[in-house]
């Protein structure tokens, strides 16, 4: 295989290591590189194509961890001999599906594509600190990490979460109220199994987070779509449409996907309704940590005098999704019931992982990382919004937002006549993980726009290049 074909194109907007990674995968898939072939060393390839060694190293690491490459120490790095066993098929590891439906792309595993939603800035995570803390926990390998973990979560992590929520979200809770789960949906599962039964009716934001809608529907819940406006969930509408609903799911801090904040009057109205109906409010506080303008509002839970709010948060957006860690805060009166349900479900991730997060929080790395990301995301959002403006002008209207890690752009003028789904699909065919707003509706969509993650767009140039690529994709159809 000749080196030049690996030379990354200059003006391209995809990070160099990803370009390298993909070209190697293509070369293997097409048979240009075969099982057992030796590949150039990091040093020689880096000097040959004139990129930093770190860039080549990262690509090689990815290829190795996914089973494409097999390093043999001083002998060099080889295309994995295992690939031969697989015959013509590519290895299964981390296949980025060619063009999944926009809907399924959000949680897609494997190498993230531009605009992927729900991801923190992967390049800005303090890996060294993490690896050091996790390594310490790993080497302990004590009994607690070998036997079944506590189904409610590792004690010190529950403590650390309770402390954090008290300080930064205004939530007064004890560690006993905190249940660690392997993700947001597992937290919903716990709520369903503990407080709800199939057939129960619930309010669901319209538009709203599709995965939660899908999960609740498959759990047998009947969802009443309640519209969202500039003050967030329209509580009066909900009280008219489904006054006796058993529960309401809401994203008060940054409505998902519109980014609107639930106003204080609405908050009080919602809490009032729940108290009177003895209904439950599930507060999904998925990215409240990232607020760029003004003071962050305390969580809805902080106003919950009657114990009707089930508060959920996740480490996916503030650390990284691969952790598979989220949490649920339950009213003190129901700890026992939740503990019972949690013991039936089998609990969250392994103890060393939970312990590492606890260490990370207790030693102050968490607060420091959040502060840095707040600044970084405000900056990256700025690059992206400016670039959209420069490339699309009045064809897109970018929804102003006080925080969050995704941008919503409504279609205008030339684009207004096209469906957001067709544009999102065109973008997907060009490798861009854009979501269509109308796919976030449970009933007939009343809005049309594009949802895009911006946390992994490193600078002005990348933002511009990606915006141009999006425009070209939309035009090409």
Q: Give, as ranges, the residues between 346 and 365 that touch its own copies (CB under 8 A).
A: 346-347, 349-351, 353, 355
**Residue 354 CB, nearest approach to its own copies (Å):** 10
- Determine if 453 is a binding residue for its own copies (CB under 8 A): no
- Determine if 12 is a binding residue for its own copies (CB under 8 A): no
Is the separation of the CB atoms in 396 and 450 below 8 Å?
A: yes
**Residue 67 CB, nearest approach to its own copies (Å):** 5
- Determine if 54 is a binding residue for its own copies (CB under 8 A): no
What secondary structure letter does DSSP report for 229?
E
Q: Which is nearer to its own copies, 354 or 401 (CB)?
A: 354
- Determine if 472 is a binding residue for its own copies (CB under 8 A): no
- Determine if 91 is a binding residue for its own copies (CB under 8 A): yes
- Determine if 142 is a binding residue for its own copies (CB under 8 A): yes
Q: 117: closest CA among 186, 179, 190, 209?
A: 209
Q: Which is nearer to its own copies, 159 or 267 (CB)?
A: 159
d(CA 391, CA 389): 6
Q: How far from the centroid of its chain's Cα atoms is residue 288's Cα?
A: 13
First-residue to last-residue Cα distance in the chain: 34
Q: Which is nearer to its own copies, 190 or 271 (CB)?
A: 190
- Determine if 209 is a binding residue for its own copies (CB under 8 A): no
Q: Which is nearer to its own copies, 111 or 275 (CB)?
A: 111
The site string for its own copies over 314-353 (x = CB under 8 A, - otherwise) reads --x---xxxxx------------------xxxxx-xxx-x
- Determine if 94 is a binding residue for its own copies (CB under 8 A): yes
Torsion of CA 70, 55, 322, 14, to 10 degrees: -120
From the CB of residue 86, how many other CB atoms can be counted at a distance below 10 Å? 13
d(CA 436, CA 447): 10
Torsion of CA 441, 445, 448, 451, to 10 degrees: 0
Total residues interacting with its own copies, rule: CB under 8 A: 77
Q: Which stretch binds its own copies (CB under 8 A): 122-130, 271-279, 381-389, 459-467?
A: 122-130
d(CA 75, CA 81): 14
| Identified binder of its own copies from the candidate list 8, 155, 298, 382, rule CB under 8 A | 155
Which residues have C-beta within 8 Å of that of residue 423, sequence separation ≥ 6?
Answer: 411, 415, 434, 436, 450, 473, 474
Q: Which is nearer to its own copies, 157 or 474 (CB)?
A: 157
- Determine if 375 is a binding residue for its own copies (CB under 8 A): no
- Determine if 72 is a binding residue for its own copies (CB under 8 A): no
| Identified binder of its own copies from the candidate list 141, 167, 172, 268, rule CB under 8 A | 141
- Determine if 111 is a binding residue for its own copies (CB under 8 A): yes
- Determine if 146 is a binding residue for its own copies (CB under 8 A): yes
| Identified binder of its own copies from the candidate list 145, 263, 277, 419, rule CB under 8 A | 145
What residue has token string 């995968």? Answer: 25
Identify the sign of the CA torsion 336, 341, 345, 348.
negative
Chain positions 175 to 204 lying near its own copies, rule: CB under 8 A, are 175-176, 182-183, 185-186, 193, 198
Chain positions 231 to 270 lying near its own copies, rule: CB under 8 A, are none
What residue has token string 């800035």? Answer: 121
d(CA 475, CA 387): 17
458 φ, ψ (degrees, to nearest 5): -75, -30
Q: Which is nearer to its own copies, 135 or 477 (CB)?
A: 135
Find the angle CA(447)-CA(450)-CA(453) to the nearest 5 degrees: 135
CA distances 385 to 123, 205, 264, 373, 465, Å, are 20, 26, 28, 18, 13
Chain positions 265 to 304 lying near its own copies, rule: CB under 8 A, are none
| Identified binder of its own copies from the candidate list 130, 290, 338, 392, rule CB under 8 A | 130
**Residue 432 CB, nearest approach to its own copies (Å):** 17
Q: Which is nearer to its own copies, 100 or 307 (CB)?
A: 100
Q: Which stretch binds its own copies (CB under 8 A): 141-149, 231-239, 363-371, 463-471?
A: 141-149
- Determine if 84 is a binding residue for its own copies (CB under 8 A): no
- Determine if 62 is a binding residue for its own copies (CB under 8 A): yes
- Determine if 121 is a binding residue for its own copies (CB under 8 A): no
Interaxial angle between packed helices 365-392 and 460-476, expressed in degrees from 0 to 180 and rounded to the nearest 10: 50
What is the secondary structure of 255-317 as a DSSP string? -TTT-PPPPHHHHHHHHHHHHHHT-EEEEE-TTTT-B-SSPPPPPGGGG-SSS-EEEEEESTT
Q: Which stretch binds its own copies (CB under 8 A): 145-153, 245-253, 330-338, 390-398?
A: 145-153
- Determine if 115 is a binding residue for its own copies (CB under 8 A): no
- Determine if 156 is a binding residue for its own copies (CB under 8 A): yes
């Amino acid at each position: 295989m000749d080196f030049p074909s690996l030379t990354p194109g200059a003006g391209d907007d995809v990070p160099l290591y990803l370009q390298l990674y993909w070209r190697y995968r293509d070369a293997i898939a097409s048979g240009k590189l075969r099982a057992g072939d030796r590949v150039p060393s990091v040093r020689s390839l880096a000097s040959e194509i004139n990129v930093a060694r770190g860039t080549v190293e990262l690509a090689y690491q990815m290829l190795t961890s996914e089973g494409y490459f097999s390093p043999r120490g001083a002998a060099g790095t080889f295309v994995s001999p295992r690939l031969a066993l697989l015959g013509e098929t590519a290895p299964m590891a981390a296949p980025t599906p060619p063009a999944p439906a926009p809907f399924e792309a959000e949680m897609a595993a494997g190498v993230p594509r531009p605009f992927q939603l729900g991801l923190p800035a992967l390049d800005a995570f303090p890996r060294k600190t993490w690896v050091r803390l996790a390594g310490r926990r790993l080497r302990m390998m004590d009994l607690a990490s070998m036997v079944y973990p506590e189904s409610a979560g590792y004690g010190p992590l529950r403590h650390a979460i309770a402390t954090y929520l008290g300080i930064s979200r205004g939530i007064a809770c004890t560690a006993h109220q905190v249940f660690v789960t392997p993700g947001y949906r597992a937290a919903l599962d716990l709520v369903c199994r503990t407080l709800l039964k199939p057939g129960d009716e619930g309010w669901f934001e319209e538009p709203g987070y599709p995965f939660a809608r899908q999960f609740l529907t498959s759990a047998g819940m009947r969802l009443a779509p309640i519209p969202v406006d500039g003050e967030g969930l329209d509580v009066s509408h909900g009280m008219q449409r489904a006054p006796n609903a058993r529960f309401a799911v809401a994203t008060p801090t940054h409505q998902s996907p519109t980014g609107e904040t639930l106003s204080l009057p609405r908050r009080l109205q919602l809490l009032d309704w729940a108290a009177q109906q003895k209904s439950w409010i599930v507060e999904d506080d998925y990215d409240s940590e990232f607020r760029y303008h003004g003071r962050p509002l305390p969580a809805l839970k902080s106003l919950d005098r009657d114990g009707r709010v089930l508060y959920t948060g996740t480490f996916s957006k503030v650390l990284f999704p691969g952790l598979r860690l989220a949490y649920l805060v339950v009213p003190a009166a129901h700890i026992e019931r939740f503990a019972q349900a949690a013991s039936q479900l089998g609990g969250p991730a392994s103890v060393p992982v939970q312990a590492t997060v606890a260490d990370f929080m207790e030693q102050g790395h968490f607060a420091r990382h959040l502060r840095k990301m707040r600044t970084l995301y405000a900056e990256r959002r700025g690059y992206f919004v400016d670039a959209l403006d420069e490339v699309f002008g009045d064809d897109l209207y970018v929804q102003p937002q006080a925080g969050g890690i995704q941008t919503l752009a409504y279609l205008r003028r030339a684009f207004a006549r096209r469906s957001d789904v067709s544009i999102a699909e065109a973008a997907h065919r060009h490798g861009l993980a854009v979501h269509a707003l109308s796919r976030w509706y449970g009933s007939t969509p009343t809005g049309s726009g594009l949802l895009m993650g911006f946390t992994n767009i490193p600078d002005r140039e990348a933002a511009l290049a990606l915006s141009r690529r999006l425009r070209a994709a939309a035009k090409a159809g």
